[in-house]
Amino acid sequence: MRGRPKRRVVIPREDSRKAQSPSPEPASESFIHSDETYRGDRFSIQTEIQELQTQNQLLENEFERAKTQIQVLKEQCQIVQKQNKQLTDAHEVAQLQRSCAVQDQAGQEKWTDEQFIGYFHDLSSSIRALSRVLSPSPAHERAHFLAAYDLLRGVPQETWSPRPNRKYLFQAAIWSLIMRWVFTSPLSIFGEYGCPLSKSWITLYGQGHIGGWPTPTLSSEAWRVNTVGQMAQRIGLPILLGDCRALHKDQATRHMQLSTMDVQWRLCEAIAVTIHTLIPGLDSELTMRLRASTGLIVAKAFKLAYRMFTRSCRLQLVYPQAGDAFSVPVMLSVDETCQAPSGKVKFVASPGLIKWGDSEGSTSVDEYSLLVAPMVNVDGEGPEVLPPAQSISDKGQMVEDVECEQTVLQSIEVDGETTEFLPPTSSISNNQQASEDLDSEQESRKFPIIYVDNKLNELLDLAPGGLDGEEQKIFEYIKELLSHCQCPDNDSQPPDSHTIDPTLI
């Protein structure tokens, strides 16, 4: 088709396209501003982080310093508390001492050494009287029971066979029970109420003396005197002496009284079991009579314990052990005809009584005296007695051998140091003692039954080897007659072990 013109296509050149296309716009100002802001914010954040880290480090340092200061303050507080406790304890001790001083100034009786010796011998004589009336069985198979008693530990069983020994072995068994129930601690007489008090006493002042007791100091003995005195005042002396009629209406006080009475009852039962074990075949009537005698022994033991443990000076029971060497200056024979026996201690019939300090309040362990000597049995000889001085070991209630020269010096060993001293002399003259014995005999003559009974016991002691056969039957018959008689001032049956009249002792 000729007449139609062709369309001319013009392809623009690259340059023209470039010229025609719009030129790219440069980075917008907003984008540039945003980038700068980001960089600035990042720097600012980093700066703040560094500042926070620095502040955190400072706070940590402050915290550590605060912890250190707190620890220092705690230590200072503990020191102050300890000082305060020491001051409080010192104040309490001072109050206890003043309390004890006030009690003494108020007219409380101050017993002398001679009086304590008398109280001890009174108890010991009752035990000896019981052993004289009873004749322990010679059955050898019962000898194994001896090992259960403190004074008879390590004693050979064949020791029971000789007749003279059986009386003293019986005494040793009774003494062992009394020491265990009454004299183990100054507070043993109060039963379950005394146990925690004894532990407190040892906790406060330590175990550094004989029997595991604290070493005597002014504060320890003031604590003991005040505590025992307050307990005894709360319970009442009649209860301590076995009078169950003095029970208090207050429930708390009654419980304390029953605790003391429980100790008395258990001790009576323990003695009764010992009697029936070593002396089988007792009839019911004799058992009832023995119960009255047993109750009297227990009451005397409690009376002695109360007087011992309410004194400012410390008094303790001491005894040797089986196997300890025997020497004349340290031990004397009960048999006055036996002057110089030798050998070793076979067994202890009764303990001794030692005093630390003085009645004026001194409690030094260097001030001591043996008031009553232990009675011992020596191999090959009869029972012996220690004179008024001995060596006391720090392991417990033990008397050890002491080497002495011709001058009868006594020595006592404490913490490895031995000090010698002259034996104390009694202030009671022979004439005064004879006068007292005469008064006692005249007093007993007012009650013929008691007088005859005492004379029978004296005759029994004088009989060589005891009584045998018909003599023993006659003696028992006379005793039986006396049991059916009545004293002028006592028309009732023998009192029970818990109703001992305090005036009797």
> For residue range 412-429, what is the model confidence (pLDDT) as tens digits?
232 333 333 222 222 223
Domain assignment of residue 268, yes or no: yes
Expressed in percent and rounded to 5, the helix, strand and coil fractions of the chain are 55, 10, 30
Label residues 364-377 b or e (16+ Cβ within 10 Å = b): ebeebbbbbbbbbb
* Beta carbons within 8 Å of 485's beta carbon, 6+ residues apart: 449
The pLDDT of residue 381: 52
Residues 120 and 195 in one domain: yes
Percentage of the chain with pLDDT > 90? 17
Domain assignment of residue 299, yes or no: yes
Domain assignment of residue 459, yes or no: no
Q: Are 256 and 233 in contact (CB under 8 A)?
A: no
| Tally of CB atoms within 10 A around 281 | 7
Residues 92 and 132 in one domain: no
Residues 93 and 221 in one domain: no
Domain assignment of residue 52, yes or no: yes
Q: Are 172 and 151 in contact (CB under 8 A)?
A: yes
Q: Are 326 and 345 in contact (CB under 8 A)?
A: yes
Residues 84 and 226 in one domain: no
The burial of 22, by beta-carbon neighbours within 10 Å (0-12 exposed, 13-18 middle, 19 or more buried), is given as: exposed
Q: Are 354 and 370 in contact (CB under 8 A)?
A: yes
Q: Are 186 and 304 in contact (CB under 8 A)?
A: no
Residues 194 and 333 in one domain: yes
Token pair listed for 77:
């507080």
Separation of CA 41 from chain center: 82
- DSSP annotation string for 209-249: SGGGPPPP-HHHHHHHHHHHHHHHHHH-HHHHTTBGGG--S
Domain termination site, one of 101, 125, 150: 101
Domain assignment of residue 296, yes or no: yes
The pLDDT of residue 411: 31
Model confidence over 5-25: pLDDT tens digits? 555 655 555 555 544 555 555
Label residues 170-183 b or e (16+ Cβ within 10 Å = b): bbbbbbbbbbebbb
Domain assignment of residue 68, yes or no: yes
- DSSP annotation string for 414-464: ETTEEEEEPPP--SS-HHHHHHHHHHHHHHHHTSHHHHHHHHHHHHHHHST
Domain total in the chain: 2
The burial of 129, by beta-carbon neighbours within 10 Å (0-12 exposed, 13-18 middle, 19 or more buried), is given as: middle
**Rounded Cα–Cα distance for residues 425 and 301 (Å):** 25
* Beta carbons within 8 Å of 472's beta carbon, 6+ residues apart: 135, 466
Residues 299 and 229 in one domain: yes
Domain assignment of residue 20, yes or no: no
Angle between helices 284-309 and 113-133 (to 10 degrees): 170
Euclidean distance between the first and final Cα of the chain, in Å?
171
Domain termination site, one of 58, 74, 101: 101
Domain that holds residue 129: 112-422+497-504
Domain assignment of residue 7, yes or no: no
Identify the segments of the chain with pLDDT beneath 70: 1-35, 89-110, 135-143, 326-342, 358-366, 380-505
pTM of the model as a whole: 0.57
Angle between helices 218-235 and 194-205 (to 10 degrees): 170
Residues 70 and 123 in one domain: no
CA distances from 481 to 338, 441, 477, 486 (A): 37, 22, 6, 10
The pLDDT of residue 434: 37
Helix (H) or strand (E) holding 32: helix 29-105
Separation of CA 200 from chain center: 10
Residues 78 and 213 in one domain: no
Residues 123 and 270 in one domain: yes
The pLDDT of residue 502: 30
Q: Are 333 and 374 in contact (CB under 8 A)?
A: no
Q: What amino acid is encoded at 322 in this protein?
A: A
**Rounded Cα–Cα distance for residues 37 and 253 (Å):** 91
Residues 71 and 153 in one domain: no
Residues 336 and 362 in one domain: yes
Reported for 340-344, long-range contacts at CB under 8 A and 24+ positions apart, including other chains, are 341/378, 341/380, 341/381, 341/384, 342/378, 343/378, 343/379, 343/380, 343/381, 344/378, 344/379
Residues 87 and 131 in one domain: no
